[in-house]
Amino acid sequence: MRQFGFTLIAFSVLFLISCSAEPAANTATPPSPTPVPAAKRDADLERAFAEIAKDSQGRVGVYARVIETGESAELNADERFAMQSVVKVPISMAVLKQVEDGRLSLDQTITIEKDEFVRRGMHSPIRDKAEHSDGYLLSSRHELRDLIAFAVSESDGTAADVLQRVAGGAEGVNAYLASVGVEAMNVTYTHKEFSNNIERQAANWTTPKGAAALLEKLHEASVADSPAGRALTKPHADLLLRFMTETWTGANRLKGMLPPGTVVAHKTGSSGTFDGVTPTANDVGIITTPSGRRILIAVLVGDSRADEKTRDAVIARIAKAAWDKWAVGS
């Protein structure tokens, strides 16, 4: 009986100790994000991207995927890169969404005040047309549709800044991106605000995957008239894709080594060069193959010590590698 009592006391003490102890930490490895199926990720193409990227003497991020099949290849696809003029795509989409919501009209006239023009030295045909012979800038008026064309097809910095203002500023553009589920992209400053300021330029950022995600939203809207939740309706998506196809910038980038006549809806982004380093040289777009398949592709080059010809060639060779893998014979 005495032995039983001792055993009972000992058991009770152990029970109380176990109940009062801190819960054990969960040391299990958290589940990783669901990876792209091995069959869809092209390891050979990714090795080719990595080899080509070496010539940039900087950072290179790539995300490429065939929309219809899901085949993909990537390189540093989750790293952040400054957008520069690539930002004109989300800005334009945010404005077009407000047109659809009835808050704006493509035919309405927008006044550009004198203090909204980007500085001389930045690309802006609108500013150049408004410049008086004596050097003074005059305010000007343009239809909203034309401002979008100037921003995207001409890569006009003044047009982009006015559109950003009309969209509700950076906050309005970011709210639009959040509403369509694009997370890896952020807008903070206008072109005028980030001019010649590397830190501010970096605050307008995207990842290769983020840029491709926005392009896919645009493509989806162009395929069929958009149900609720889509990024845009088909007419407005088609309009923006037309402006992106008509752009003259970046002839030596994504399009540089593709067959003549290949349809590429794209937007470039470029910075100046500071102390031998070019922070940004980008091109993102949708390439249409002979079979009608679409290749989403974002190639972002950062902090490059290579010259412009080499930077452009890196982007062109990466696009050509994707084309050779997925378009030839498709």
Written as six digits, the tokens of 82 are 């400054």
- Active-site residue, from 12, 32, 72, 85: 85
Written as six digits, the tokens of 209 are 């995957």
Q: Which residues contact 195 (CB under 8 A, 6 or more apart)?
A: 118, 119, 122
Angle at 48 between CA 46 and CA 49, to 5 degrees: 65
Q: Is residue 85 among the annotated active site residues?
A: yes
Q: Which residues contact 291 (CB under 8 A, 6 or more apart)?
A: 327, 330
The answer to whether 252 and 316 have CB atoms below 8 angstroms apart is yes
Q: Which residues contact 217 (CB under 8 A, 6 or more apart)?
A: 93, 180, 181, 182, 230, 231, 232
Q: Name the nearest CA neighbour of 320 among 279, 278, 287, 275.
A: 287
> Which DSSP symbol is given to 182?
-
> Which DSSP symbol is given to 58?
S
Task: Give the β-pairing of 59-66 and 294-304.
Answer: antiparallel
SS3 assignment, position 299: strand
Residue 86 phi/psi, 5-degree rounding, is: -60, -25
Cβ-based burial of 305 (10 A; exposed 0-12, middle 13-18, buried ≥19): middle
* CA–CA separation, 209 and 185 (whole Å): 9
Half-sphere exposure in the Cβ direction for 313 (13 Å, CA): 11
Active-site annotation, residues: 85
